[in-house]
Amino acid sequence: MAATAIAVATMKVAQVSGPGGDFQIVERKIPTPGAGEVRIKVQACGVCHSDALTKEGAWPGIQYPRVPGHEVAGIIDEVGESVTAWKKGQRVGVGWHGGQDNTCLSCRRGDFRNCRNVLIPGISYDGGYQQYMVAPVGALAAIPESLSDVEAAPLLCAGITTFNALRHSGALPSDLVAIQGIGGLGHLGIQFASKFGYKVAAIGRGPENAALAKKLGANVYIDSKATNAAEELQKLGGAQVILATAPSSKSMSELIDGLGPNGKLMVIGAAFEPIEVTPVQLIMGSKTIQGWAAGTPTDSEDTLRFAELTGVRPMIETYPLEEAAEAYARMMSGKAQFRVVITM
C-alpha cells in the first residue's frame, strides 16, 4: 500500500538571520492566525530606511530570525478566533504602528501613537517581506479600492509620516512650508503640502530635482548646495514649518534660521547625530523643534483616503521577493526614485 504524503502548505519569506546578517530566502510553513489576529496574503511591501533596525540589529531586544517590513498591503485570507470587525477577502495594510498594549499610561490617555510598548511589524513580529503574514487586528488599516497594492504600501509609513506630521504642524493654508529632502519621504511631503494649500518650498541638494519638485507641487525650488537655503526662506518671509525628511542633522541645523516667527522645524528624518541650535535662535521669534513618528492605523486610513481624494501617489521601483537583498541595497543607496516596493 502506498503511503500518502501529507502536503504542508509553505511560503517564501525573506528573513534576516542575525544582526548584520544577509537576507535569506527560505521556505516556511504558512502561519495560522491566533485569537485577535488575521493572516494577510501579502501583495506588496515597501522597503523603509527603518528596516535597517532589523537588518543591523539596532533595536533593543529584537529576536532572530526576523522578517522585516512595515509597509504591507494585502488581502485577509484567514481570520483568527474572536475577530469580528475584519473579514476574509478584505484589502488591508499594516504600517509602523503594529499594535498597542492598551494598558500603558499613553494608551489609557487615548494617545495610542505613543504607546510605551508599541508593537512594530518586522521588529516585534515578522513583517511583510513574505508571502503570508500574521498581524493583530490593532495593526490593520482598510485600503480603498481605487489604490493599488504597490501604491498603497509606501503610504503606510512614508505617506502617513509626512501626512500626519504636516497636518499636526499647525501650518495653515497659504503658509510657507518647506520640505527638506526630495527622497522617499520628501517626494510625498511635497505632494501633501501642496494639496493642503501651503506655499511649498522644496529644498534639495543640486539642481537635478528642481523640475520634478515643481511637478510634484512645489511653488519654489531651493538648491541648498548653490545657495544658503535659510536665507532663501527668509527672502520669502520665513517658513512657518520646515519638514525635515532627509536624515542629515547638519542640514537640519542649517535650516533653523529659515524659520519665520513662531515657526517650527518638524523632524521626521531619523538621524542619530545631534541637531545644533543655540537657545537664542529659538528664543528670537519663539521657534520650536518637534519630532514626529508615523501614526495609528486610523491615521493610515486618513492618509489613504486623502491620497485617493487628491491624487497623491508614491513614485516607486519594484523588486520581486526573491530579490529582497537587492531591493534593500537599492533603498540604502539613496538613489531609488523614490520608494522601493517588494512584490510577491
Residues that bind Zn ion in the complex, under the rule CB under 5 A: 48, 50, 100-101, 104, 107, 115, 157
DSSP symbols for 168-180: TS---TT-EEEEE
Q: Rounded distance, CA 293 to CA 113, Å? A: 8
Q: Rounded distance, CA 343 to CA 5, Å? A: 31
| Residue 104 or 315 with smaller CB distance to Zn ion | 104
Q: How far is the CB of 96 from Zn ion (least distance, A)?
A: 5
Q: How far is the CB of 193 from Zn ion (least distance, A)?
A: 19
| Residue 42 or 201 with smaller CB distance to Zn ion | 42
Residue 205 CB neighbours (<10 A): 17
| Residue 48 or 259 with smaller CB distance to Zn ion | 48
Place of cell 527672502: 235
Question: Nearest Cα to 121, choosing from 184, 56, 48, 186?
Answer: 48
Residue 235 CB neighbours (<10 A): 11
- Phi and psi at residue 223, to the nearest 5°: -90, 110
Q: 3-state SS string over 59-112?
A: CCCCCCCECCCCCEEEEEEEECCCCCCCCCCCEEEECCCCCCCCCCHHHHCCCH
| C-alpha cell recorded at residue 8 | 504542508
Q: Rounded distance, CA 182 to CA 158, Å? A: 12
| Residue 230 or 312 with smaller CB distance to Zn ion | 312
Q: How far is the CB of 304 from Zn ion (least distance, A)?
A: 16
C-beta of residue 207 within 8 angstroms of C-beta of residue 182: no
Q: How far is the CB of 168 from Zn ion (least distance, A)?
A: 18
Q: How far is the CB of 2 from Zn ion (least distance, A)?
A: 51
Q: How far is the CB of 157 from Zn ion (least distance, A)?
A: 3
| Residue 247 or 260 with smaller CB distance to Zn ion | 247
| Residue 52 or 104 with smaller CB distance to Zn ion | 104
| C-alpha cell recorded at residue 43 | 501583495
| Residue 107 or 216 with smaller CB distance to Zn ion | 107
Q: How far is the CB of 104 from Zn ion (least distance, A)?
A: 3
| Residue 131 or 296 with smaller CB distance to Zn ion | 296
| C-alpha cell recorded at residue 325 | 537583498
> Pseudo-torsion of CA 182, 212, 165, 256, nearest 10°?
60
Q: How far is the CB of 339 from Zn ion (least distance, A)?
A: 10
